[in-house]
């Protein structure tokens, strides 16, 4: 059904394919998509028959992150509602990061802001050479709050300091170099690369894969519930500021925000 924000398909041999399906808005996620994606991941997480998950998206862009219309409207909600909404977003990344099975993500095009967060929460990230990336939040007066723990783990503190603060666009090769992508291949070879990795996983023992995934989480710097709630409060608070509201308005009005000096 085309009005589904997220498509979910069970393939043979225990493969779950999850497809972001809002191509007309570059697969940006709003409250509907966050809820659908979270539900879908919950279903996969409790299905013992599923052995590997593939996350992909429709259209040219992988995902441009949170839908700015939805972000901007948060200011109209009560403070509590605003934080609750942000917690759902934080919950989505946590859900993806802690899936009990190996997760593969197919990044066919640009991934910005929260879209980059989705990539960082997966185990194996395979991208097309033409894909572009940016931790774009500060450009809009926002911060990469809820994705920061996952992204910083994936790319390391040094790259996080650079890209969180410059919001600059970087290519797939750079993404591979800093550890965000595992492979950057020609678009024509993206599907075969995905297939190869999934086949490797299917050749492994399911119980061991699940146990291994648990272990990876246990030994990694686990993101505590407290810290997640704190990141949610931070994004809820900053998106209500005059600065962020101006940044997001400027984006929609296709103009520079006030803090950019006109030349």
Pair of tokens at residue 201 = 């996983």
Contact status: 209 vs other proteins (CB under 8 A): yes
CB atoms within 10 A of CB 254: 6
Of 252, 248, 236, 260, nearest to 81 by C-alpha is 236
- 29-58 burial by CB neighbour count: b if 16+ within 10 A, else e? bbbebbebbbebbeebbeeeebbbbbbbbb
Smallest gap from residue 204 Cβ to other proteins (A): 4
Contact status: 161 vs other proteins (CB under 8 A): no
Contact status: 117 vs other proteins (CB under 8 A): no
Tell me how far apart the terminal alpha carbons of the chain are, to the nearest angstrom.
48
Among 186, 220, 252, 256, binds other proteins (CB under 8 A): 220
Contacts with 30 (C-beta within 8 Å, 6 or more apart), sequence order: 5, 66, 67, 69, 70
Among 67, 85, 123, 137, binds other proteins (CB under 8 A): 123
Smallest gap from residue 189 Cβ to other proteins (A): 11
Instruction: Name the H helices within 178-221.
Output: 187-202, 206-219
- Using the rule CB under 8 A, give the single segment among 73-81, 85-93, 128-136, 151-159 that binds other proteins: 151-159
The binding track of 189-208 with respect to other proteins, each residue x by CB under 8 A or -, is: --xx-xx-xxxxxxxxxxxx
Q: How far apart are CA 99 and CA 96, in angstroms?
A: 5
Contact status: 79 vs other proteins (CB under 8 A): no
Among 43, 182, 227, 229, binds other proteins (CB under 8 A): 182
Question: Footprint of other proteins on this chain (CB under 8 A)?
Answer: 11-13, 15, 17, 54, 102, 120, 123-125, 153-154, 156, 179-180, 182, 191-192, 194-195, 197-209, 211-216, 218-220
């Amino acid at each position: 059904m085309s009005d589904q924000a997220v498509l979910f398909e069970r393939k043979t041999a225990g493969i779950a394919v999850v497809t972001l399906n809002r191509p007309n808005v570059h697969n940006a996620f709003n409250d509907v998509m966050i809820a659908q994606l979270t539900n879908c991941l919950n279903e996969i997480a409790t299905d013992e028959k599923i052995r590997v998950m593939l996350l992909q998206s429709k259209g040219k862009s992988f995902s441009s992150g949170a839908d700015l219309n939805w972000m901007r409207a948060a200011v109209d909600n009560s403070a509590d509602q605003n934080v609750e909404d942000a917690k759902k977003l934080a919950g989505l990344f946590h859900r993806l990061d802690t899936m009990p099975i190996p997760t593969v993500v197919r990044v066919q095009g640009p991934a910005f802001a929260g879209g980059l967060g989705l990539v960082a929460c997966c185990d194996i990230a395979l991208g097309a050479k033409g894909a572009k990336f940016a931790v774009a939040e500060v450009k809009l007066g926002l911060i990469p709050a809820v994705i920061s723990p996952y992204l910083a783990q994936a790319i390391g503190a040094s790259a996080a300091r650079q890209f969180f603060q410059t919001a600059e666009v970087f290519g797939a090769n750079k993404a591979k170099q800093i550890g965000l992508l595992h492979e950057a291949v020609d678009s024509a070879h993206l599907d075969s690369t995905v297939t190869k990795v999934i086949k490797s996983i299917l050749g492994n023992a399911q119980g061991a894969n699940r146990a291994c995934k648990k272990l990876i989480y246990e030994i990694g710097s686990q993101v505590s519930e407290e810290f997640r709630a704190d990141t949610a409060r931070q994004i809820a608070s900053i998106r209500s500021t005059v600065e962020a509201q101006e940044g997001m308005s400027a984006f929609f009005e296709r103009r520079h925000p006030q803090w950019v000096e006109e030349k």
